Amino acid sequence: GAVVSQHPSWVICKSGTSVKIECRSLDFQATTMFWYRQFPKQSLMLMATSNEGSKATYEQGVEKDKFLINHASLTLSTLTVTSAHPEDSSFYICSASGNRPGEQYFGPGTRLTVT
Amino acid sequence: DAKTTQPPSMDCAEGRAANLPCNHSTISGNEYVYWYRQIHSQGPQYIIHGLKNNETNEMASLIITEDRKSSTLILPHATLRDTAVYYCIVRSGGSQGNLIFGKGTKLSVKP
């Protein structure tokens, strides 16, 4: 199956700093990428949807100025957590859809810890 | 997309078949049943999907009832590495939209 990578796999940062997470589709062109967040013992919650070359669509309650998403190419999307706070500590997971209807592939996730 | 209902947890002995049920009584005609699993601290992994016929691949089998209101994911010979949370998701076949994850079933495979 198709492969999606994320970098870094884990990151620790200080409160107030910004962190960028990359999501890449390695062997297919991702027309749409999704960013999810997962808190301990909870399910995945969609944060935003991004289409290549256009602005991301954020879910209700997700601050677009805090979670900056860029989808500049068909193989790369980035999520930047700006002015991170301890409550932003979570497991961030991206997924990507290609041209085949219904297919969606997930990255391995990025564990963010804000101290 | 239709809502699904799954038991919160199940146990299975290693080497035995694991049968994970899912109810989706409000499924509509163009909606597929997808199964994903998430091993601890990893991203979700696609397992299988189907519309109305039973499906089988190298990972699992999917049995969908004739009325399509429920389905069962079967792992024929569960191993310890199959311990994970299994998510049953219903979605339009042509959809390129996001997957909506419920709480899933925590499957524990025991030696």
pLDDT digits (tens, 9 = 90+) for B81-111: 999 999 999 987 666 677 889 999 999 999 9
A93 CB contacts (<8 Å, ≥6 apart)? Answer: A6, A35, A36, A37, A38, A44, A106, A107, A109, A110, B43, B44
Interface contact B102-A43, CB threshold 8 A: yes
Closest residue in chain B to residue A99, using alpha carbons only: B96
A68 CB contacts (<8 Å, ≥6 apart)? Answer: A78, A79, A80, A82
Q: What pLDDT, on a 0 to 100 scale, did the predictor assign at position B93?
A: 64
Interface contact A91-B45, CB threshold 8 A: no
Give CA–CA dist A94/A61, Å, rounded: 18
Q: Does A80 touch chain B (CB under 8 A)?
A: no
A103 — pLDDT class (breaks 50, 70, 90): confident
Average pLDDT over residues A50-64: 91
The H or E element containing residue B28 is none
Q: Does A34 touch chain B (CB under 8 A)?
A: yes
Can you tell me whether residue B44 is helix, strand or coil?
coil
**Could you tell me the end-to-end alpha-carbon distance of chain A, in angstroms, rounded to an integer?**
37
B19 — pLDDT class (breaks 50, 70, 90): very high
Least confident of A16-20, A44-48, A58-62, A103-107: A103-107
Interface contact B32-A109, CB threshold 8 A: no
B34: left (phi over 0), alpha (psi -120 to 50) or beta: beta
The chain-wide mean pLDDT, for chain A, equals 92
Residue pLDDT, tens place only, A9-24: 999 999 999 999 999 9
* Chain B residues inside the 8 Å CB shell of A95: 43-44, 98-99
Q: Tell me the pairing of strands A57-58 and B55-56.
A: unpaired
Interface contact A109-B91, CB threshold 8 A: no
Quote helix, strand, coil % in chain A, to nearest 5.
5, 50, 45
